[in-house]
């Protein structure tokens, strides 16, 4: 089994001891990121906007706090890229759509506010597909410029994968954080629905939109997510389960392997790499159950396959505002895919939409119950159908990722697998509201398989 090791990665978390000892500083770390941006972003095209003057000022302020031993949070001094559907007071938020060219919200999104309050260094805005669901941007894969970085958090994943930033914020309504993380060789985290505050993030689907984090390591990702959670909370939810210090690695006793509809998309070489990863887990004493040897899992997986198409109908129905208004005002300046989703939504009745929500609620409960019945710690599957595909227009299949987004359960993409020099991820999914326990399992897997 080949294990992916990203040669570009810059981990902020791993650099903190040097900041504390005085061996290095947040300003030095930032300058290393900027050097990489200057050398690579003409090809990778991860950033839409940079605010280097403000970033350097923030890094210098953080450097002084380290010297004084007066840190604001565990992300004090950490450079962060912000997906360009997330509002920033000091930079435009343009959604990869000409209608919003140069548009400024006049305030920070809740997540950006929490990061600034914790001393993080807001580096710039990263490329998104149009409104995080339609036309692709110019970003290329950091390991092959002829391939997609994935979407919709294209620039965020490419920036981390290329070593331009240790962390970047993404969003996920269907596959938009974990798929690009998989393609770009980074750690991706999509928390339980509602665990991270989404105010100031341009909406797609109120009951499916997640804020996500892409980072160099699990520790980088968890620090960032925790600061957002503890900094602003989340209305009606509270705080990210396990927020704070990164959970200690904990070996799982049993995992449920999910095939799902995506398995039919996987070629033999990709399947072999994933199967070898599962064999390594089994060799470490982790028991694996699946539809092949467990009737409850087999029945539940079929329910997921039968119901998952309703996930896109929910998204489309909930997109009617503001996108029907955008189409009425701006016509063809709004992408063709969005026109199609709104047309599809307009053909649905409220009763049909409600029935989809009932099905989703039932299967979310079943998701937790099947874990308990099987005595399993998490579900394991692929984070994409393989390495990044050729071309930039299509950002790749979302089939493996859609289950976790649809049901709103926590999920990680782990940068473990490689094929022909290109990375792709293993996905772990946990029980709703058990993000901390899932992170502990991720920590063990990253340590155990690497």
Catalytic residue positions, numbered: 83, 152, 176
Closest C-alpha to 210, from 436, 446, 408, 10? 408
Looking at the DSSP assignment, which residues form a beta bridge with residue 378?
Answer: 255
Q: How far is CA 423 from CA 139, 181, 222, in A?
A: 17, 9, 21
Whose tokens are 């998952």? That residue is 308
SS3 content of the chain, % helix, strand, coil (to 5): 45, 15, 40
Torsion over CA: 357, 437, 155, 113 (sign): positive
Other residues' Cβ atoms within 10 Å of the Cβ of residue 106: 7
Whose tokens are 């704070």? That residue is 244
d(CA 180, CA 149): 6
What 397-400 contacts at long range (C-beta under 8 Å, 24+ apart), as own/partner pairs, is 397/262, 397/265, 398/174, 398/175, 398/179, 399/260, 399/261, 399/262, 399/265, 400/175, 400/260, 400/262, 400/427
Whose tokens are 């199967």? That residue is 275
Torsion over CA: 427, 428, 429, 434 (sign): negative
d(CA 258, CA 253): 17
Tokens of 211: 């804020």
Q: How far is CA 410 from CA 17, 149, 214, 263, 298, in A?
A: 30, 22, 14, 21, 21
CA 143 to chain centre: 19
d(CA 228, CA 310): 31
The DSSP-derived string for 204-252 is S-TTT-EEEEEESSHHHHHHHHHHHHHHH-BTTTBS-TT-SSPPPP---
């Amino acid at each position: 089994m080949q294990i992916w090791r990203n040669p570009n990665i810059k981990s902020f978390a791993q650099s903190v001891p040097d900041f504390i000892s005085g061996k290095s500083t947040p300003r030095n770390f930032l300058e290393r990121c900027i050097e990489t941006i200057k050398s690579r972003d003409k090809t990778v095209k991860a950033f839409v906007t940079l605010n280097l003057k403000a970033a350097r000022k923030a890094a210098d302020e953080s450097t002084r706090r380290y010297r004084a031993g007066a840190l604001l949070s565990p992300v004090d001094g950490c450079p962060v890229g912000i997906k360009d559907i997330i509002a920033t007071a000091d930079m435009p938020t343009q959604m990869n759509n000409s209608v919003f060219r140069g548009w400024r919200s006049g305030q920070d999104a809740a997540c950006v506010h929490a990061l600034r309050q914790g001393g993080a260094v807001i580096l710039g805005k990263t490329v998104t597909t149009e409104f995080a669901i339609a036309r692709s941007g110019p970003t290329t894969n950091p390991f092959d410029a002829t391939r997609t970085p994935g979407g919709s958090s294209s620039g965020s994943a490419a920036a981390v994968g290329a070593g331009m930033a240790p962390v970047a914020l993404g969003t996920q309504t269907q596959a938009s954080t974990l798929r690009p993380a998989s393609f770009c060789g980074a750690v991706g985290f999509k928390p339980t629905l509602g665990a991270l505050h989404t105010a100031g993030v341009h909406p797609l689907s109120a009951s499916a939109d997640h804020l996500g984090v892409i980072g160099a390591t699990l520790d980088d990702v968890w620090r960032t997510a925790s600061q957002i959670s503890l900094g602003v909370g989340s209305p009606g939810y509270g705080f990210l389960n396990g927020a704070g210090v990164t959970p200690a690695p904990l070996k799982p006793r049993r995992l449920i392997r999910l095939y799902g509809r995506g398995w039919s998309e996987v070629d033999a070489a990709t399947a072999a790499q994933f199967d070898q990863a599962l064999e390594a887990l089994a060799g470490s004493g982790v028991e694996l159950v699946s539809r092949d040897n467990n009737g409850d899992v087999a029945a539940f997986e079929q329910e997921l396959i039968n119901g998952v198409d309703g996930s896109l109908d929910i998204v489309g129905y909930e997109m009617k505002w503001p996108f029907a208004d955008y189409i009425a005002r701006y016509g063809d300046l709004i992408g063709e895919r969005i026109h199609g989703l709104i047309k599809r939504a307009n053909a649905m009745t409220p009763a049909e939409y409600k029935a989809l929500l009932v099905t989703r609620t039932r299967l979310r409960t079943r998701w937790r119950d099947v874990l308990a019945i099987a005595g399993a710690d998490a579900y394991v599957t692929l984070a994409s159908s393989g390495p990044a595909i050729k071309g930039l227009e299509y950002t790749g299949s979302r089939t493996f990722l859609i289950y976790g987004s649809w049901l709103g359960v926590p999920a990680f993409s782990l940068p473990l697998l490689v094929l022909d020099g290109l990375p792709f991820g293993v996905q772990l999914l946990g029980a709703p509201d058990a993000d901390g326990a899932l992170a502990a399992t991720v920590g063990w897997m990253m340590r155990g398989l690497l």
